[in-house]
Structure 1
Amino acid sequence: MRGEASRIADRESRDSLAPKLRDTRDEAWRIGNELFAITSLLDHNVHVERALTDPSRPAEDKVAVLNTLLGDQAHPMTMEIMTDLVGRRFSRVSDIANAVEDFGVDAMMYYADAQGTTLQVSIELAQLHSSLLNLPVVRSKLYDDSVSSETRVKFFRALFADKDFDKVTMRLAEHATCNLRNRRYLATIQWLINKFSRHMGESMVTVTTATPLTDEQIDKLIAIYSKKVGRGVHINSVVDPTVLGGMRVQVGDEVTDNTVIAQLDHLQRTVKATA
């Protein structure tokens, strides 16, 4: 959890630079990728993190470190973001990497906005999350730090090769396994879903059923969950015949599983426990 100083630094920096980052439109793709690369660099080099967050070090020295690291290769907006961040105070040295990653995700969201695919990416991330819920072995391979990041990314691409995901969905999903950042894979995907939901001003409600929902069912779910969360919701309907019947509903980190398969699993565990 970030300390108060880090939360303030992150929020103020993003609030001040959001309009400029949003205005980069198609260039936001490049900026987001650069920021993800810098996040990884910081995560793997604590000496650089310390050099960029040392409160006793003049801001000019920190900018000089940035120039050495990035040279003239980085997009001007990337450099402006990093210059702003190193001029702020962080609770812990590692928190600057969190702030850079946040900016990277923001850039990807603004790129999706420019392409008109923001809702599509949000839905695809929810579909990805739902598809992995009952695959613990697969999930564990996506955050297995005993293998290289290249191996994990290659595994992800092979796993979802038949999915026609948007390029932003793919980039975010690959970032989640390429740079683990001490998080489990699904936790990162859920974090991304939540960020997109807040960005759109809606909450994503993923509903998994054995057969497609009717329009009447969708309208009813929208009414129920809009009232429950106090804001507009989007229903992401996922059809999974293996659940047999019933419904699994996920809103943020909260999952309500009333599917037949979940009830059978619960019954089996109960029988084993009492045997």
Structure 2
Amino acid sequence: MVSSFRGASADAVAALTDQVGDSATVAEDLFAAAATFRSEGALRRFATDSSVPVDAKTGLVSQLWQGKVDAASLELLKDAVSRRWTRTRDLADGLEHVGVVASVNSSGEDAGRLVDELFSVRSVVADSSDLRNALSDPARSGEDKAALVDTLLGGKVLPATVTLVKQALSGGHRTITVALEEYEKVAADVRGRGVATVRVARPLPEGDLQRLAAALTEQYGRPVHLNVVVDPDVLGGIKVEIGDDVIDGTIASRLDDARRKLAG
């Protein structure tokens, strides 16, 4: 989601992110507000219409949320509607993104663990069609899905992980796994890191992981968090996916290259 912000929206999200702090309550308030703006088209258009006076927008925000959200959340919402947005939908998406940052910040020094837990949940959901269908079934209520998340994760992961998995069910992204992947990237970015998915045929020794992380850090100019996937389709070697880059050093890839050269 964050990469989709352009122009004024990117500036608005950056400014709001700088102010958001580390309150889990603020994160949930922003998620709820984002859902309201997504579902209420007239409200969303009013809040992003540059011809509407700022006082009218902030006044409406106060009318709707005063006493219902944390004071810090209310100030962020007022600030959000005071800013210019490139696209109407960016207001809701921006509030969700800033809410994710607040949730990550609330995990404090456990932000690295949060990235790992989000990756683990995403992998489980991707590998289980039954779970994926249960969490995406339009016939099930949001409360029912949230209860399922609590049953599966409650007491086993960080509170921020539970919050973000529930938020992934909100429909702001194309699928739950896409949402969780985006949240992983945000969490790593908050820590000043990139995220690399490493696919291997068998678990790598810790020394090899450290050397790979160091090499990627040098190549990309920032620390890189490794998500390691043991993939039976990888015959040998490793495949690294980081952002839009793919570094494929697998045996299958080398065989394909050799076949192409022979065919050419």
Q: What's the TM-score, normalizing by structure 2?
A: 0.79
Q: Cα 1:228–1:11, aligned 2, differ >3 Å: closer, same or farther?
A: same
Q: How does 1:1-275 map to 2 (within 5 A)?
A: 7-22=6-21, 25=22, 28-113=23-108, 116-160=109-153, 164-177=156-169, 179-207=170-198, 212-237=203-228, 249-252=240-243
CA distance in 2, matches of 1:2, 1:112: 20
Q: Which amino acid aligns with 1:251?
A: I
Cα shift at 1:255: 7.3
Q: Cα 1:253–1:135, aligned 2, differ >3 Å: closer, same or farther?
A: farther
Verify the 8 A CA contact 2:9 2:86 in the aligned structure 1: no
SS in 1 for 2:83: coil
Q: Cα 1:92–1:198, aligned 2, differ >3 Å: closer, same or farther?
A: same
CA distance in 2, matches of 1:72, 1:232: 42
Match of 2:259 in 1: none
Cα shift at 1:204: 2.5
Q: Cα 1:210–1:159, aligned 2, differ >3 Å: closer, same or farther?
A: farther
Cα shift at 1:249: 4.9
Verify the 8 A CA contact 1:53 1:89 in the aligned structure 2: yes
Q: What's the TM-score, normalizing by structure 1?
A: 0.76
CA distance in 1, matches of 2:247, 2:157: 26
Count of aligned residue pairs for this structure pair: 251
Cα shift at 1:19: 4.4
Gaps in structure 1 of 5+ consecutive residues: 264-275
CA distance in 2, matches of 1:135, 1:258: 28
SS in 2 for 1:234: strand
Cα shift at 1:102: 1.4
Cα shift at 1:145: 2.9
How big is each residue's C-alpha offset from its partner over 1:44-98, in whole Å with a ceiling of 9 and x where there is no partner?
1112112212222211111121112102232222122111111122233222111
CA distance in 1, matches of 2:93, 2:57: 18
Cα shift at 1:140: 3.6
Q: Which amino acid aligns with 1:13?
A: A
Q: Cα 1:56–1:234, aligned 2, differ >3 Å: closer, same or farther?
A: closer
Q: Cα 1:190–1:2, aligned 2, differ >3 Å: closer, same or farther?
A: closer
SS in 1 for 2:20: helix
Among all aligned residue pairs of Structure 1 and Structure 2, give the percentage whose two residues are the same amino acid: 25
Residues 90-99 or 210-219, more deviating: 210-219
